[in-house]
Structure formats: structure tokens, C-alpha cells
Amino acid sequence: GPAVSSAALPARAAGTGPVLLNFNESPYGPSPAAQAAARAIVADSGRYLFALAGELRDAFAQQEGVAAQRVRLFPGSSEPLNRAAVVWTSPSAGLVVADPTFESLGDLAAARGATVVKVPLRADGAHDVRAMVDAARQVNAGLLYLCNPNNPTGSITPADDIAWMLANKPPQTRLLVDEAYLQFSAQRSVIAQVMQRDDVIVLRTFSKLYGMAGLRLGVAAAHPDRLRELASLGDNPLPVTALAAGLASLREPGLVEQRREQNTRVRQATVEWLQKRGFRCLPTEANCFMVDVQRDGAAFTRAMAERGVVIGRSWPIWPQVVRVSVGTEAEMAAFRDAFAAVVGLKG
């Protein structure tokens, strides 16, 4: 996304800037323990601290029940997404994605000449795995992309559908499951599949629930051959502040549950408020939701920004539906006030 001007930062810290509900960031930031760990390690940041990266990889692998050899850390999950586009798609190996979904992988694959097929989500918000597998056959896909929960909808694709996709996709087509928002949902991860198969890649990030978007830490889990392919574009040591904060986050008891419950509570209250007033929201289990604003989404987003609430955008497939990230209770109160003013609700 666009760079935040440095002038905006003090205003944000002081709580006087606009309410930012546009990038699915955490309004809470890293947990206090993670912040303390990041601050403490700055003194040692003259070193690469490769052993700390190993410690984090091992802790993640143990928590998830996969072998450490099948886990690789990256500065965020954007990095392995970009690499996946480069190593597994080409003019002769297409990509199949949902519509709407997170666009960075598809945009990069398309820019590099791959055929990208966008398959509309099912009415219940799940990926249409049958249509996606058909499309994979048609374009000799190198890669299927499945984001669960999906961005921008927050909608879920049930485990049975993913299992069906794995059983029925062309054998040469890899499946990349992006679980950036999984911790907000009640869904189970598919990460155990990386111990069984060599054609599944699972991505996680510390940017969302752990609130570390600006610190940069992500994980790819896959068969060692797939991790080697991702690594073939070169190495890049990780920021030690991210490693320290990441390890502290993994080790903090109850953090995931506490933040998941907080997010669910605030999101549900906001969605109920909108639906009571006749504005349809799509089913979501993430830290964002989509609402049909019954008018041009781009104009609506501009009108909200003029009232100090910066929300996400609409996707071309649904021009009157906008994405809103879930902020704090106070931020969502500001969202409701601005929403009521923009659509002309009384009282």
C-alpha cells in the first residue's frame, strides 16, 4: 500500500489522526511482551543472530506439529507470495485464484506473463474448489491460490473442500494456502499436509493477529524441495527485532485466544449494527468484513475518509461492496458515526 507520511505518525500515536481501517492491520500492535523483547534486542542488532532465527523456526514447527526442515522464515508473507509467483508461474504455467481475493500474487504472476484465472467465490463465500480445479486443468496451472479466511471477504473455505481440491487437482499444480487470517477464525490449519505431500505450501504471517505488520515476519511451510525452490531466489537475513518479538508472541500464553475473542466481539457488534440498518454484510471470520453500501464503493470510501475514517476499497467484481478492517471498540464507534452520516441515517 501507499507509504504513510512521517508527519502522520505522531498524530497516530497521539490518537488524533484518522481512524485507519484500511489495511487489515492490528489496532493493538505487538503484545507488550513482544514489544519489550524487540526493544531489548536492539542492543544486539549489530549481529545477524542466525541462532535466534533457528530458535523461532523450531518453536513454530513444534507448535504446529511439523518438522523444522519444512519451515522457513521470511520478512512477512508477501516475500514467499512474490517468490511463489516467480518460481511456480510462467507464460506456460498459469495461476488460478478466487475473485475477489488478495491480489498481490495474481498481479505479479500476470505481470510476468502467466495466465491468471479468477474464479468467483461461491455464494457462501467459500472458494469454488470444483471450478478452480477445472480452471487449473484448462490453463495447465503451476499454482492454485487459496486464502483461508479469504481477504477481502474474511469468508471461510471448509476443510472438506480443501481436501477435495487436494484429491482432484492436477498432480503438477501446487496448492498455496494463505493462512494470514487463520488465527482470527475457528478453522483448523491445513499445515499438517506439508508432512504428507510435496505439492502444498502453507503461509502464515505475524502481521495480523500478532500485530507485527511493520516489523516483518512470515512463515512458509512446505516439503523441503518446495522450500528450496522458494529459497532459490536468494537469502535475506531477518530483522532481529522481528525475531525477538515473534518468539515472544509464540510463547505468550492465551494471546491468540484473547485477541481472537476481542476481534470477534467487536466485529460482530459492528456487523449487527449494519445489518439492523439494512446493510448486508458477507460472512466473515477474519479481522475484516465486507458490507454492501448500496452505492458506488469508491465514492463511499472517499466520503468516509473526509469524515476521518479511512476504510478499505471495493473490488471490481463487486463495485458497491467495501472492505472494512476491524479496529478497537472506540474506532468502530467512530466508524458507525461516519457511516450513519455518509448514508444519511437518522439518530
Does residue 187 interact with ligand PLP by CB under 6 A?
no
When the beta carbons of 76 and 142 are compared against ligand PLP, the nearer one is 76
When the beta carbons of 290 and 342 are compared against ligand PLP, the nearer one is 290
Does residue 205 interact with ligand PLP by CB under 6 A?
yes
301 in Cβ contact with 239 (< 8 Å) = no
Region from 37-45, 72-80, 187-195, 316-324 binding ligand PLP, contact rule CB under 6 A? 72-80
How many CA atoms does the CB half-sphere of 22 hold within 13 Å?
Answer: 19
Does residue 315 interact with ligand PLP by CB under 6 A?
no
Distance of CA 288 to the CA centre of its chain: 10
Does residue 155 interact with ligand PLP by CB under 6 A?
no
When the beta carbons of 205 and 270 are compared against ligand PLP, the nearer one is 205
When the beta carbons of 205 and 301 are compared against ligand PLP, the nearer one is 205
When the beta carbons of 170 and 239 are compared against ligand PLP, the nearer one is 239
Amino acid at 229: E
Instruction: Determine whether 310 is exposed, middle or buried from the number of CB atoms within 10 Å of its CB (0-12, 13-18, 19+).
Output: middle
The site map against ligand PLP for 80-99 (x = CB under 6 A) is: -x------------------
Count the site residues for ligand PLP by CB under 6 A: 14
Out of 76, 106, 297, 312, which residue is the one contacting ligand PLP (CB under 6 A)?
76
- C-alpha distances in angstroms, 127 versus 88, 103, 133, 140, 175? 21, 15, 11, 19, 13
Distance between CA atoms of 168 and 137, rounded to whole angstroms? 10
DSSP class of residue 30 equals: S
Out of 64, 128, 178, 199, which residue is the one contacting ligand PLP (CB under 6 A)?
178
Out of 173, 189, 193, 207, which residue is the one contacting ligand PLP (CB under 6 A)?
207
Strand ranges (E), the chain? 19-21, 71-74, 94-99, 116-120, 141-147, 174-178, 200-205, 218-221, 288-292, 309-311, 321-325
DSSP class of residue 294 equals: S
Distance between CA atoms of 307 and 341, rounded to whole angstroms? 9
* Cβ-proximal residues to 262 (8 Å cutoff; 6+ apart), any chain: none
Does residue 185 interact with ligand PLP by CB under 6 A?
no
**Residues within window 19-48 making contact with ligand PLP, judged by CB under 6 A:** 24
216 in Cβ contact with 208 (< 8 Å) = no
Does residue 173 interact with ligand PLP by CB under 6 A?
no
Does residue 147 interact with ligand PLP by CB under 6 A?
yes
Distance between CA atoms of 77 and 204, rounded to whole angstroms? 6
- C-alpha distances in angstroms, 126 versus 58, 59, 140, 149, 308? 32, 31, 23, 9, 33
Nearest-approach distance from CB 277 to ligand PLP, in angstroms? 28
Nearest Cα to Cα of residue 215 among 35, 55, 19: 35
Nearest Cα to Cα of residue 228 among 62, 88, 66: 88
When the beta carbons of 288 and 303 are compared against ligand PLP, the nearer one is 288
Region from 74-82, 219-227, 307-315, 319-327 binding ligand PLP, contact rule CB under 6 A? 74-82
Does residue 102 interact with ligand PLP by CB under 6 A?
yes
When the beta carbons of 289 and 342 are compared against ligand PLP, the nearer one is 289
Out of 56, 116, 165, 180, which residue is the one contacting ligand PLP (CB under 6 A)?
180
Query: Cis peptide before 75, with omega less than 30 degrees from 0?
Result: no
Region from 58-66, 75-83, 224-232, 289-297 binding ligand PLP, contact rule CB under 6 A? 75-83
Does residue 146 interact with ligand PLP by CB under 6 A?
no
When the beta carbons of 103 and 337 are compared against ligand PLP, the nearer one is 103
Sites of contact with ligand PLP (CB under 6 A) = 24, 76-78, 81, 102, 147, 151, 178, 180, 205, 207, 213, 218
